[in-house]
Amino acid sequence: MTELVLVEGLSDVQLISHYLQNVYGWKYEQENGLKIRPLDKHEHIESLSKDGNQLVLCGVGGNGNFGNFVKAHRINEMITEEDISSLMVVTDRDDMSKARIARGINDSLDKIQVKEGQWHNSVIRDRFGHDKNISTYLLIIPTSECGALERVIINALKDI
């Protein structure tokens, strides 16, 4: 199975990749089965594997670029055509409401939707007309205040 994770940028991809490799034993892979490649210098793609599963981490090139990334890389078609079992979107809260962030991301998705802070299961038809389950999750960081992932890390380091 392939898990697809969309994050804002390079530092997010590197942080998540480093954490998964060093804490959970995922292994870096040169290629990803989805054949997603960066289209410009702002995008970053990494692939990890563990126990026959693949995780494709995609830095979309910035907070406002989720919709453009989904369209340019044909993510909606890929979800239908490829062996993708889940889509997770991780984004900074910055100064927007959670509802506005979710609406913006869901506007770019065709047959599935993400819900903030919870796994959501969608049943879609694959390219052969068979039912296919896709699990989705929207993680907005930080959860209780405006800011970004860097703010969460700085606050955690203050407590040490």
pLDDT over threshold 90, residue 6: yes
- Whole-number pLDDT of residue 158: 65
Share of the chain above pLDDT 70, in %: 88
User: Where does the pLDDT of residue 93 fall: very low under 50, low under 70, confident under 90, or very high at 90 and above?
Assistant: confident
Q: What is the pLDDT of residues 8-59, one digit of tens each?
A: 999 889 989 999 999 999 999 999 999 999 999 999 999 999 999 999 999 9
User: Where does the pLDDT of residue 92 fall: very low under 50, low under 70, confident under 90, or very high at 90 and above?
Assistant: confident
pLDDT over threshold 70, residue 86: yes
- Whole-number pLDDT of residue 95: 72
42 with 61: CB under 8 angstroms? yes
Q: Output the average pLDDT for the chain.
A: 89
- Whole-number pLDDT of residue 152: 58
Q: Which residues pair with 132 in a beta bridge?
A: 124
DSSP the chain: -EEEEEESSHHHHHHHHHHHHHHH--EEESS-TT----SSTT-EEEEEEETTEEEEEEE-SSGGGHHHHHHHTTHHHHHHHS-EEEEEEEEE-BTS-HHHHHHHHHHH-SS---BBTB-EEEEEE-TTS-EEEEEEEEEEESSSSSB-HHHHHHHHHHT-
Cα–Cα distance between 68 and 66 in angstroms, integer?
6
User: Where does the pLDDT of residue 79 fall: very low under 50, low under 70, confident under 90, or very high at 90 and above?
Assistant: very high
Q: What is the pLDDT of residues 135-158, one digit of tens each?
A: 999 998 866 665 556 565 656 666
- Whole-number pLDDT of residue 74: 96
